[in-house]
Chains A and B, each alone.
Chain A
Amino acid sequence: MSPALAHTPNFVGWRALILHRPHQNVDALTAQCARIGIAAEQAWPTLENRDAMRDFNVLLIDADMGHDEQFPWAPGLAPMPMIALIGSEAPGRIAWTIGQGADAQLLKPIGSAGLYSALVVASQGFLRRTAQTEEIARLKDQLAQRQLVAEATAILMLKHNCDAGTAYNHLRKTAMAERRSIEKAAAGIIANLDTDGRTNVTNGR
Chain B
Amino acid sequence: MNTYPIGVLFSRSGGYSRPAEQGYFGALAAVADINADETYPFQLEAHHADPKGNADRYAELCRDLIRQTGAQHIVGCTTSWSRKEVIPVVEKLDALLWYPCVYEGFEVSENLVYIAACANQQLVPLLDYIVPRFGGRGFLTGANYIWGWETNRIARDVLTRSGGSVLGERYVPIGDDDIDHLIEEIREKRPDFILNNLIGNSSYAFLAAYQALGKEDPAFLPENCPVVSCNLCENETTRLGTIAEGQYTVSSYFRALASEENDRFAARMKAENPEQVADAFFVQAYAAVVMIADAIRRTGSDEAQRVLEAVREHETTTPLGSLRVDPATNHVNLHAHIGRTRADGDFEIVHHCPKAIAPDPFLTATPLDRLYGGTAADARQLRVVR
* A interface residues, Cβ below 8 angstroms from B: 6-8, 10-12, 31-32, 34-37, 111-113, 116
0 or 1 for each of B147-169: is its CB under 8 Å from A? (1 = yes): 00000011011001100000000
* B363 lies within 8 A of A6 (CB): no
Query: What is the CA–CA distance of A111 and B329 in the complex, to the nearest angstrom?
Result: 14
Inter-chain residue pair count (beta carbon < 8 A): 44
Q: Can you name the residue of chain B whose Cβ is closest to the Cβ of A32? A: B108
Q: A36 to chain B: which residues have CB within 8 Å?
A: 362, 364
Q: Can you name the residue of chain A whose Cβ is closest to the Cβ of B112? A: A112
Contact residue among A6, A12, A37, A113 (Cβ-Cβ distance under 8 Å from B108): A113
Q: List 10 A-B contacts (CB under 8 A).
A: A6-B160, A10-B364, A11-B364, A31-B328, A35-B361, A36-B362, A36-B364, A112-B109, A112-B110, A113-B107
Q: A8 to chain B: which residues have CB within 8 Å?
A: 153-154, 157, 363, 368
0 or 1 for each of B328-341: is its CB under 8 Å from A? (1 = yes): 11000000000000
Is B129 part of the binding interface, using a Cβ–Cβ cutoff of 8 Å? no
16 other A-B residue contacts (CB within 8 Å) besides A37-B364, A111-B110: A7-B157, A7-B368, A8-B153, A8-B363, A10-B363, A12-B364, A35-B108, A35-B362, A37-B365, A112-B91, A112-B108, A112-B111, A113-B87, A113-B107, A113-B108, A116-B362
Q: B109 to chain A: which residues have CB within 8 Å?
A: 111-113
Size of the B side of the interface (Cβ < 8 Å), in residues, is: 22
Q: Say yes or no: A35-B329 contact (C-beta < 8 A), given A10-B363, A113-B108.
A: yes
Q: A32 to chain B: which residues have CB within 8 Å?
A: 108
* A6 lies within 8 A of B156 (CB): yes
Q: B156 to chain A: which residues have CB within 8 Å?
A: 6
Is B106 part of the binding interface, using a Cβ–Cβ cutoff of 8 Å? yes
Q: B368 to chain A: which residues have CB within 8 Å?
A: 7-8
Q: A10 to chain B: which residues have CB within 8 Å?
A: 363-364
